[in-house]
Structure 1
Amino acid sequence: MKITIDQDKCIASGQCVAAASDVFDQRDEDGIAFLVNDDPPEDEADDVRHAAAVCPALAILVED
């Protein structure tokens, strides 16, 4: 699974962190999302896909 965040699109809503906090986090200074785990275990794949789906800016791309 390859996960990409387009930080230029990110609007710091935090939906990705709420959906998959072991994979995503937000910078303290501006709330922009970043990956804390770019190779999550398979049992977190559904949460990562959900995070991409609920991102209001569509800033997360997940490729299998």
Structure 2
Amino acid sequence: MIWVIIAVLILGIGAYFGNEYRLDRKAHKLNSGSEEDRRLASELQDIARKIDEGKYLYR
């Protein structure tokens, strides 16, 4: 029973940090695009930074 709780915690933590990493990676790819893509990249980086600071929770 305890291993189920540990597995759920590990999956939750992995999903939280995986989402932040995915946003950063997508923003990096968009930086080499058009002006609109660079603006979107800036917004994605801002969201990822706020996730890192704990201002947003993974939903």
The answer to whether TM tops 0.5 is no
With normalisation by structure 2, the TM-score equals: 0.31
With normalisation by structure 1, the TM-score equals: 0.30
Structure with greater proportional strand content: 1
Larger-Rg structure:
2
Structure with greater proportional helix content: 2
